[in-house]
Amino acid sequence: EIVMTQSPATLSVSPGERATLSCRASQSVSNNLAWYQQKPGQAPRLLINGASTRATGIPARFSGSGSGTEFTLTISSLQSEDFAVYYCQQYNNWPPGTFGQGTKVEIK
Amino acid sequence: EVQLVESGGGLVQSGGSLRLSCAASGFTFSSYSMNWVRQAPGKGLEWVSYISSSSSTIYYADSVKGRFTIFRDNGKNSLFLQMNSLRAEDTAVYYCARDRDFDNWGQGTLVTVSS
């Protein structure tokens, strides 16, 4: 089973600043990597798939990069609605579609 | 608009059973694979089960294999999860999610297993 490791566990950022979240796979997942956002009491929402393709309706301030084992989600200028938990997930080696443990982006 | 609505959660004793449902609308349900994903209170996401569009391929997480059964009714645009021999560690919000990249999620239904 592929293990997905996210860092940091918590990221404290001021509104308007840039946030960079990392996700590492224990073996190559090619570009079969997705990012999700989850706010308290809500279901997760797909942000990025294919490592770098924004899902429908996702603002351009969200961008994904990487391939193989190293991936990054960047939020270029944090808005108040972006404070949430972010998960990466690989869907290259299926099953299972393993998730990372999440990165909480909080207000600094 | 894609909509997924789960139901069937509740409080059940350890060893009991529950059947979850997911009603789909706004897309051609029979053309998409589906998943169940769960989230224990305060924890991260755990994939539970997958079913292909035609039900020909089914997968389970090791943690539920032999106890849970996923199935679907394409004529009724519905996905199901039959959960037997429930344990305290199955306590979670259960989400249905579309396709291998989980591009749409329901709002979830809470399953609480009391020991």
> Does the pLDDT of residue B52 top 90, yes or no?
yes
Record: contact A97-B35, CB cut-off 8 A: yes
pLDDT band (50, 70, 90) for residue B76: very high
Question: pLDDT digit string (tens) for A9-65?
Answer: 999 999 999 999 999 999 999 999 999 999 999 999 999 999 999 999 999 999 999
Nearest 5 degrees, angle CA A77-CA A78-CA A80?
145
DSSP state of B105: B
Look at residue A71 in the predicted model and tell me its pLDDT.
98
Of B59, B60, B105, the CB nearest to A43: B105
Contact B47 A49 (CB under 8 A): no
Per-residue pLDDT at A84 exceeds 90: yes
- Which amino acid is residue B103, in one-letter code? D
Closest CA to B26 of B42, B47, B8, B4: B4
Q: What are phi and psi of B113, to 5 degrees?
A: -110, 115
Nearest chain B residue to A97, by CA: B47
**Averaged pLDDT score across all residues of chain B:** 97
pLDDT of B59-74, one tens digit each? 999 999 999 999 999 9
A85 close to A104: Cβ distance less than 8 angstroms: yes
pLDDT at B40: 97
pLDDT band for position B18 (cuts 50, 70, 90): very high
What is d(CA B65, CA B47) in angstroms, rounded to the nearest whole number?
12
Dist CA B37 CA B107 (whole Å): 11
Residue A96 has pLDDT above 90, yes or no: no
Q: Is the pLDDT of residue A4 over 90?
A: yes
pLDDT of residue A108: 87
User: What is the structure's pLDDT at B107?
Assistant: 97
